Amino acid sequence: MLAVLRSSPASTDALLKIANDKYSMRWSTKAQIQRRRGWFQSAGVTGQDDEGRLELTTSGREILERLDLHSPEAQPDTTPTNSDEPDVARESEAPITSPPHGEDIASLVADLHRTSVDSANPDDFENIVRDVFEFLGFKAEQLGGSGKTDVVADADLGRDNSYRVIIDGKTTSRGSIKDGQIDWDTIDDHRAQHHADYVVIAGPAFGGDRLLNRANKHAATLLTAGDLEDLVRQHADTPLSLDAYRSLFVTGGEANLEALTESVEEAERLTAVTLAVLRGIENHGNEVGAMTARDLYLLLRTDTELEAEEREIEQALASLASPLLGILTSSDGAFRLTGPLRTSLMRMRLLVDVLEGS
């Protein structure tokens, strides 16, 4: 990647194409490019130009001069000789990836709005819609072509709980998508063909009561580029579960992002309560010793403006005292720290590294 950027800046899409065409990486999504992009930008090796493309910094050029690069022709062929063997290098086999950095979120949002009005290149919009659903946690694949839906997004929640969404991407440079641009019979055929539970139609905007009525009739959810941007930004701040996102698709018609508000508020509140509990034990543990949920309930009522319920405090204590985290330990219902918080943070970072490398 650094060598490619030596001559000129490059977009994430361009880097993905080079990785696959020149280096035979066989990556189906931009996740691996974005991951490395995040590493480089955090290290100050690369930056971003006015068009959101990746470019080398002075530090990056200095580091590049010190590296011994090998041409792709010199790399061994790792393709399995037996077609029945699993392809361990496939991107789809590595579902856990680092979350995008702020620059990647901005780039994704910019690409979303740009491609939604580029009617000459509808495949580009489909690609970005796929990336959005992948960011939200779905396993998404762009299909397109005759007789197929544009994008299939699977919520992999195990048997009896998983669900599938098919997405039909519509682009226009004329403001909004009208009813005449949508073949509703084909939409229904695609739902049956792909055994989908829900249907989404994505576009820059939608206009007309007739389109809305037809969407309600066919139980298809209308997601504008603005809706998709809101979902991306919200997920970056407060990641939600795939169970929560199901509420977007159940009724059809105009997307109701307010349906997710309760899930967002619950996640944010649990985080705030957990932080307050941890600070309470850290600040007062030396004075009063191990503390019960009731002790912390009374303490938080006095020391903070957070009106936490005792049930919420018990949930936070149970999470912090889980064997995996081990931040707290308990005896007879009273909790104390197991050691310095920096040790617990090291354990959590190790867990993240193990999961990302899995």
- For 328-337, the pLDDT digits (tens) are 999 999 999 9
Ramachandran quadrant class, 144 (left: phi over 0; alpha: psi -120 to 50; beta: rest)? left
Q: What is the pLDDT of residues 134-145, one digit of tens each?
A: 999 999 999 877
149 phi and psi angles, rounded to 5 deg = -70, 165
| pLDDT reported for residue 106 | 86
Residue 249 pLDDT greater than 60, yes or no: yes
Name all domains of the chain by residue range, CATH numbers in brackets: 2-75 (1.10.10.10), 102-255 (3.40.91.30), 264-356 (1.10.10)
Give the pLDDT confidence score for residue 93 in this predicted structure.
Answer: 41
For the chain, percent of residues with pLDDT exceeding 90:
51
Span 39-43, average pLDDT: 78
Mean pLDDT over 58-87 rounds to 67
Q: Which amino acid is at 206?
A: F
Q: What is the pLDDT of residue 353?
A: 85
CB 103 within 8 A of CB 48: yes
How far apart are alpha carbons 52 and 43 in whole angstroms?
Answer: 18
For residue 79, pLDDT over 50 is answered with: no
The set of residues, in sequence order, having a beta carbon less than 8 Å from that of 145 and lying 6+ positions away, is none
Q: What is the pLDDT of residue 358?
A: 64
Does the pLDDT of residue 31 top 80, yes or no? no
Least confident of 25-34, 156-165, 197-206: 25-34
pLDDT band at 71 (very low <50, low <70, confident <90, very high): confident
| Residue closest to 168 by CA, chosen among 142, 145, 149 | 149
* Threshold 0.75, pTM exceeds: no
